[in-house]
Structure 1
Amino acid sequence: MASLSKTALAPQTGPAVQWWRGAAIYQIYPRSFMDANGDGIGDLPGITQRLGHVASLGVDAIWISPFFTSPMKDFGYDVSDYCDVDPIFGTLADFDVLVARAHQLRLKVLIDQVYSHTSDEHAWFVESRASRDNPKADWYVWADAKPDGTPPSNWQSVFGGPAWTWDARRGQYYLHNFLSCQPQLNGHNRQVQNALLHVARFWLDRGVDGFRIDALNFSMHDPDLRDNPPAPPTDRARTRPFDFQRKIHNMSHPDIPGFIERIRAVTDEYAGDEGAIFTVAEVGGDEAETEMKAFTQGDARLNSAYGFNFLYADRLTPGLVCAALAEWPDEEGMGWPSWAFENHDAPRAVSRWCAPEHRDAFARMKLLLLACLRGNIILYQGEELGLTQVDIPFEQLQDPEAIANWPLTLSRDGARTPMPWESEGEGGFGAATPWLPLGEENLARSVAVQDADPASLLALTREIIALRKASSALRHGSAACQADGALLRLERLSQGERVVCLFNLSPDPISVIKIPQGETLCSINSVMPDVLGSYGALVVRV
Structure 2
Amino acid sequence: MTKSPTKAKPQKSNADWWRGAVIYQVYPRSFQDTDGDGIGDLKGVTERLPYIASLGVDAIWLSPFFTSPMADMGYDVSDYCDVDPMFGTLADFDAMMAEAHRLGLKVIIDQVLSHTSDQHAWFKESRASRNNPKADWYVWAAAKPDGTAPNNWLSVFGGPAWEWDGVRKQYYMHNFLASQPDLNFHNRDVQQALLDAVRFWLERGVDGFRLDTVNYYVHDKELRDNPAHVPDSEEAGLDAPDVNPYGMQSHLYDKTQPENIGFLKRFRALLDQYDGRTSVGEVGDGARSLKTVAAYTAGGDKLHMCYTFDLLGPDFTPNHIRHCVDAFHKSVADGWVCWAFSNHDVNRHVSRFAQNGEEREAVAKLAVSVLSTLRGSICLYQGEELGLPEADLQFEDLTDPYGIRFWPAFKGRDGCRTPMPWVSAKPHAGFTTAAKAWLRVPAEHAALAVDTQDGREGSVLEHYRHTLAFRKAHAALADGDMEFLDLDEDVLAFTRKKGEDRLLFVFNLRRGPQEVTLPQRIAIKELVAMPGLSGSLVDGVVLIEALDGFCARI
TM-score normalized by structure 1?
A: 0.94
- Which one is further off, 73-82 or 508-517? 508-517
**Match in the other structure for 2:370:** 369
- One of 93, 97, 106 as aligned partner of 2:104: 106
Q: Using the alignment, how far apart are the partners of 2:232 and 2:271 within structure 1?
A: 41
Cα deviation 1:239-290 (Å, max 9, x = unaligned): 222111001100000011110000001000011xxxx301000001221111
Seen in structure 2, the aligned counterparts of structure 1 residues 512 and 439 have a Cα distance that, compared at 3 Å, is same
**Match in the other structure for 2:429:** 427
The amino acid of 2:406's aligned partner reads N
Q: Using the alignment, how far apart are the partners of 2:195 and 2:163 within structure 1?
A: 28
- Percent same amino acid among aligned pairs? 50
1:539 to partner: Cα distance: 2.1
**Match in the other structure for 1:283:** 283
Q: Using the alignment, how far apart are the partners of 1:452 and 1:298 within structure 2?
A: 45
Seen in structure 2, the aligned counterparts of structure 1 residues 216 and 332 have a Cα distance that, compared at 3 Å, is closer
Tell me if the contact between 1:283 and 1:307 (Cα under 8 Å) persists in the aligned partners.
Answer: yes
Tell me if the contact between 2:290 and 2:331 (Cα under 8 Å) persists in the aligned partners.
Answer: no
**Match in the other structure for 1:11:** none
Q: Which segments of 5 or more consecutive residues in structure 1 lack a partner in the other structure?
A: 1-15
Tell me if the contact between 1:525 and 1:534 (Cα under 8 Å) persists in the aligned partners.
Answer: no
Q: Using the alignment, how far apart are the partners of 1:201 and 1:122 within structure 2?
A: 19
The amino acid of 2:546's aligned partner reads S
Instruction: Report the 3-state secondary structure (helix = DSSP H, G, I; strand = E; otherwise coil) of the residue aligned with 2:367.
Output: helix
- Which one is further off, 276-285 or 331-340? 331-340
**Match in the other structure for 2:72:** 74
- Which one is further off, 174-183 or 428-437? 428-437
**Match in the other structure for 1:437:** 440
- Determine whether 1:466 maps to 2:469: yes
- One of 508, 520, 540 as aligned partner of 2:528: 520
Q: Using the alignment, how far apart are the partners of 1:353 and 1:124 within structure 2?
A: 43
Higher RCO (CA-CA < 8 Å; seq separation 6+): 1
1:496 to partner: Cα distance: 2.5
Cα deviation 1:222-243 (Å, max 9, x = unaligned): 0100000001266685222211
Q: Using the alignment, how far apart are the partners of 2:159 and 2:331 within structure 1?
A: 42
Q: Using the alignment, how far apart are the partners of 2:28 and 2:231 within structure 1?
A: 39
Tell me if the contact between 1:387 and 1:445 (Cα under 8 Å) persists in the aligned partners.
Answer: yes
1:452 to partner: Cα distance: 3.4
Seen in structure 2, the aligned counterparts of structure 1 residues 523 and 206 have a Cα distance that, compared at 3 Å, is closer
Instruction: Report the 3-state secondary structure (helix = DSSP H, G, I; strand = E; otherwise coil) of the residue aligned with 1:297.
Output: helix
Tell me if the contact between 1:318 and 1:482 (Cα under 8 Å) persists in the aligned partners.
Answer: no
Q: Using the alignment, how far apart are the partners of 1:220 and 1:519 within structure 2?
A: 51
- Which one is further off, 361-370 or 17-26? 17-26
Runs of 4+ deviating beyond 3 Å? 233-237, 330-333, 482-486, 514-517
1:478 to partner: Cα distance: 1.1
- One of 112, 131, 134 as aligned partner of 2:132: 134
Cα deviation 1:73-99 (Å, max 9, x = unaligned): 000000000000000000000000000
Cα deviation 1:362-387 (Å, max 9, x = unaligned): 11111110100100000000111111
Tell me if the contact between 1:30 and 1:42 (Cα under 8 Å) persists in the aligned partners.
Answer: yes
Tell me if the contact between 1:310 and 1:341 (Cα under 8 Å) persists in the aligned partners.
Answer: yes
**Match in the other structure for 1:252:** 256
1:495 to partner: Cα distance: 1.6
Q: Using the alignment, how far apart are the partners of 1:153 and 1:263 within structure 2?
A: 30
Tell me if the contact between 2:455 and 2:462 (Cα under 8 Å) persists in the aligned partners.
Answer: no
**Match in the other structure for 2:325:** 325
Tell me if the contact between 2:375 and 2:481 (Cα under 8 Å) persists in the aligned partners.
Answer: yes
Seen in structure 2, the aligned counterparts of structure 1 residues 186 and 332 have a Cα distance that, compared at 3 Å, is closer
The amino acid of 1:42's aligned partner reads G
The amino acid of 1:502's aligned partner reads V
Tell me if the contact between 2:18 and 2:278 (Cα under 8 Å) persists in the aligned partners.
Answer: yes
TM-score normalized by structure 2?
A: 0.92
**Match in the other structure for 1:509:** 513
**Match in the other structure for 2:236:** none
- Determine whether 1:267 maps to 2:267: no
- Which one is further off, 473-482 or 147-156? 473-482
Q: Using the alignment, how far apart are the partners of 1:332 and 1:214 within structure 2?
A: 20
Tell me if the contact between 2:393 and 2:415 (Cα under 8 Å) persists in the aligned partners.
Answer: yes
**Match in the other structure for 1:455:** 458
**Match in the other structure for 1:492:** 496
**Match in the other structure for 2:145:** 147
1:309-320 alignment, distance < 5 Å: 309-311=310-312, 313-320=313-320
**Match in the other structure for 1:42:** 40
1:457 to partner: Cα distance: 1.2
**Match in the other structure for 1:535:** 547
**Match in the other structure for 2:394:** 393
Tell me if the contact between 1:479 and 1:491 (Cα under 8 Å) persists in the aligned partners.
Answer: yes
Q: Using the alignment, how far apart are the partners of 2:323 and 2:144 within structure 1?
A: 43
Tell me if the contact between 1:295 and 1:301 (Cα under 8 Å) persists in the aligned partners.
Answer: yes
Cα deviation 1:328-375 (Å, max 9, x = unaligned): 338995101101100000100010111221111111111110100100
- One of 237, 241, 247 as aligned partner of 1:243: 247
1:17 to partner: Cα distance: 7.2
The amino acid of 1:294's aligned partner reads A
Cα deviation 1:450-488 (Å, max 9, x = unaligned): 113122111111111111111111111011124655300
